[in-house]
Amino acid sequence: MAVETVPCTAYEDQKPGTSGLRKSVRHFQQPDYLQTFVQAIFNAVPELRGGLLVLGGDGRYFNREAIQVILRMAAANGVARILVGKGGILSTPAASNLIRKYQATGGIILSASHNPGGPDGDFGIKYNSSNGGPAPENLTNLFFEHASKLSEYYITAIQPVPLDKPGHYEIEGLRVEVIDPVDDYAELMATLFDFERIRALLAGDFSLRFDAMHAVTGPYAQRILEQTLGAARGTVMHFEPLADFGGHHPDPNQAHARELMELLYNPRKVDFGAASDGDGDRNMILGHYFFVTPSDSLAIIAANAHLIPGYRNGLKGVARSMPTSQAVDRVAEKLGIACHETPTGWKFFGNLLDDGQITLCGEESFGTGSDHIREKDGLWAVLFWLNLLAVRQESVEDIVRRHWADHGRHYYSRHDYEAIATPAANTLMTHLRQQFDELPGKVIHGKTVCQADDFTYHDPVDHSASHHQGIRILFEDGARLIFRLSGTGTQGATLRLYLEQYEADVKNHDQDVQAALAPLIQIAETLALIRTFTGRDAPTVIT
């Protein structure tokens, strides 16, 4: 085989963040930038030699070129077999499923998730291990180590693989199988949910819209919702994956899925609305004139899991990321199961899932999932809700309100200050840390602080510790303020402020969310001097 050894200069900034290596497209287009990181993966995971690799991405700009480069490098690095999605497409959950189902050594997923795409947008690459989940921190650190000292990479000079034609190709000892990206995933969903019942729901006067945001879930949602479950044609909006997502942020939240929001907040009744992100792992759930916070969605999914075929036998336990509201904790307590609190990022759920300690997990950032794969799963959450609506025959709003009546309501919101100057963001965090000692016991705007710290996670399975996972200010009444700097942004720093206030009394469950959180918002400003440090009067995005 004609393997070319290419000398290269190492890049020193290839440290994966919350979810893989994510940079602007232009950054990735620097000479050999992609190649050095890919070689670092091959060097760090020697089992890939002779192994099976799953490969695909969310279809964004640079996806196709990157796939051809990785195929050539895989051949040179001795990979035996590759499953690649047709057109280079694989949603993150579908890739996770393929890795598990075909017992692959691992997978490479090309995506910058919900970040914008196109030549001026972002690109990303992440490696998933044989359990189907994102590489844990020790492995991503190893990628970084290898990348920082790399002096050469290996590549073959093969013809581009025809990605648009399913079939098998033999290239220099590497067997490339171009597969339908939807088949295996659709099959898995049918094993978890009562498709007959959902079909019956959709055959009635129930109406729904799903916004694929011109990202990867279009083909998945059309196949499952329209072709299999019988939803009306046109149910799936923005179904065609586009390299630049039509110029939008493929982020399923109230700010970015504006067209969908307008359809649901409209007298012409649509019963259910949902959206997914760039790579298909996030979800937003809406009812008529009603938004379900992701934290509530996780809690409601946990509380109702016994009604869904795949979860009929009960839950082993649940987990949420630290900033996610504590709504699911209350459900776990009632069910008598464990609830784990992990740092932000799906990779921290992997050990708990593999070890059989949890069945469900989720994050406030529109991510929910279960032990069926090792990634969060947008369409899975949508199907879960549809199955639940079909069983309970109530509206989305009624289900959520009943849940609040039973468990209390966690008023919750996240305020993002995007693209602020990195030194300013660091100073703000330091300013907060300096107050840790004096805060406990202090009364601020009428609320008493009981604890202030930097969150550290001790993994109960591998006993590793992850430090500095967000600043927590906890109050005596259960309210919380969390401050974190994003690990996925590509410009400057993004400050995330998470606000949570518990309200037990059903008489107080009708407040506007921002109004209910106003006292906490004021305390956050007093403690963190956000305006002073960031120079911003208001958050960029509120979810």
User: Known catalytic residues?
Assistant: 113
Q: Identify what 19 binds: ligand G1P, Zn ion, none; CB under 5 to 8 Å per kind.
A: ligand G1P
Q: Identify what 18 binds: ligand G1P, Zn ion, none; CB under 5 to 8 Å per kind.
A: ligand G1P
Name which of 32 and 363 has its Cβ closer to ligand G1P: 363
Minimal distance in Å, beta carbon 21 to ligand G1P? 13
Name which of 155 and 381 has its Cβ closer to ligand G1P: 381
Residues 89-148 that bind ligand G1P (CB under 6 A): 113
- What is the rounded distance in angstroms from the CA atom of residue 284 to the CA atom of residue 516? 22
Place of tokens 């093969």: 158
Name which of 122 and 296 has its Cβ closer to Zn ion: 122
Minimal distance in Å, beta carbon 344 to ligand G1P? 5
- What is the rounded distance in angstroms from the CA atom of residue 245 to the CA atom of residue 107? 24
SS3 296: helix
Please check whether residue 58 is in contact with residue 66, taking contact to mean a CB–CB distance below 8 angstroms.
no
Name which of 226 and 363 has its Cβ closer to ligand G1P: 363
Instruction: Give the one residue of 281, 296, 364, 375 binding Zn ion; rule: CB under 5 A.
Output: 281
Using rule CB under 5 A, residue 36 touches Zn ion? no
- The tokens describing 200, both together, are 């019956």
Give the interface segment with Zn ion, choosing from 281-289, 312-320, 384-392, 415-423 (CB under 5 A): 281-289
Minimal distance in Å, beta carbon 231 to ligand G1P? 27
Minimal distance in Å, beta carbon 438 to ligand G1P? 28
Name which of 58 and 296 has its Cβ closer to Zn ion: 58
Minimal distance in Å, beta carbon 541 to ligand G1P? 12
- The tokens describing 18, both together, are 């919350």
Minimal distance in Å, beta carbon 177 to ligand G1P? 28
Q: Which residue in 213, 367, 225, 222 sits closest to 275, CA to CA? A: 213
Burial class of residue 359 in the structure, from the number of CB atoms within 10 Å of its CB (0-12 exposed, 13-18 middle, 19+ buried): buried
What is the side-by-side strand order in the sheet with 409-420? 443-444, 447-454, 471-475, 480-485, 493-503, 409-420, 541-542
Q: Identify what 365 binds: Zn ion, ligand G1P, none; CB under 5 to 8 Å per kind.
A: ligand G1P
Q: Identify what 279 binds: Zn ion, ligand G1P, none; CB under 5 to 8 Å per kind.
A: Zn ion
Using rule CB under 6 A, residue 346 touches ligand G1P? yes
Name which of 32 and 377 has its Cβ closer to ligand G1P: 377
- What is the rounded distance in angstroms from the CA atom of residue 21 to the CA atom of residue 533? 28
**Taking the CA of residue 77 as centre, how many other CA atoms within 13 Å lie in the half-sphere pointing to its CB?**
28
Instruction: Give the one residue of 105, 351, 486, 534 binding ligand G1P; rule: CB under 6 A.
Output: 486
Using rule CB under 6 A, residue 365 touches ligand G1P? yes
Give the interface segment with ligand G1P, choosing from 237-245, 341-349, 419-427, 517-525 (CB under 6 A): 341-349
Please provide the DSSP assignment of 206-244 as one string. --EEEE-TTSTHHHHHIIIIIIIT-PPTT-EES-S--TT
Q: Identify what 58 binds: Zn ion, ligand G1P, none; CB under 5 to 8 Å per kind.
A: none
Name which of 277 and 500 has its Cβ closer to Zn ion: 277
Q: How many residues bind ligand G1P, per CB under 6 A?
A: 15
- What is the rounded distance in angstroms from the CA atom of residue 229 to the CA atom of residue 390? 12
x-or-dash string of contact with Zn ion, 98-127, rule CB under 5 A = ---------------x--------------
Measured between alpha carbons, how far is residue 46 from residues 59, 79, 336, 347, 462 in Å?
28, 10, 43, 21, 22
Instruction: Give the one residue of 14, 16, 18, 362 binding ligand G1P; rule: CB under 6 A.
Output: 18
Instruction: Give the one residue of 122, 194, 363, 500 binding ligand G1P; rule: CB under 6 A.
Output: 363
Minimal distance in Å, beta carbon 96 to ligand G1P? 14
Minimal distance in Å, beta carbon 346 to ligand G1P? 5
- What is the rounded distance in angstroms from the CA atom of residue 342 to the CA atom of residue 320? 6
Give residues with Cβ within 8 angstroms of 62, minimum separation 6: 25, 28, 29, 110, 123
x-or-dash string of contact with ligand G1P, 369-398, rule CB under 6 A = ------------------------------
- The single-letter DSSP state of residue 27 is H
Minimal distance in Å, beta carbon 494 to ligand G1P? 6
Minimal distance in Å, beta carbon 380 to Zn ion? 13
Instruction: Give the one residue of 342, 488, 501, 534 binding ligand G1P; rule: CB under 6 A.
Output: 488
- The tokens describing 161, both together, are 């693989």
Name which of 213 and 449 has its Cβ closer to Zn ion: 213
- What is the rounded distance in angstroms from the CA atom of residue 145 to the CA atom of residue 395? 51
Q: Identify what 325 binds: Zn ion, ligand G1P, none; CB under 5 to 8 Å per kind.
A: none
Please check whether residue 350 is in contact with residue 134, taking contact to mean a CB–CB distance below 8 angstroms.
yes
Please provide the DSSP assignment of 298-329 as one string. HHHHHHHGGGSGGGTT--SEEEEETTS-THHH
Backbone angles phi, psi at 258, to 5 degrees: -65, -40
Give residues with Cβ within 8 angstroms of 147, minimum separation 6: 10, 11, 14, 36, 37, 39, 40
Q: Which residue in 73, 59, 64, 91 sits closest to 82, CA to CA? A: 73
x-or-dash string of contact with Zn ion, 261-280, rule CB under 5 A = ----------------x-x-
- The tokens describing 24, both together, are 């602007």
Q: Identify what 43 binds: ligand G1P, Zn ion, none; CB under 5 to 8 Å per kind.
A: none
- Residue ranges binding Zn ion (CB under 5 A): 113, 277, 279, 281-282
- Residue ranges binding ligand G1P (CB under 6 A): 18-19, 113, 321, 344-346, 363, 365, 367, 486-489, 496
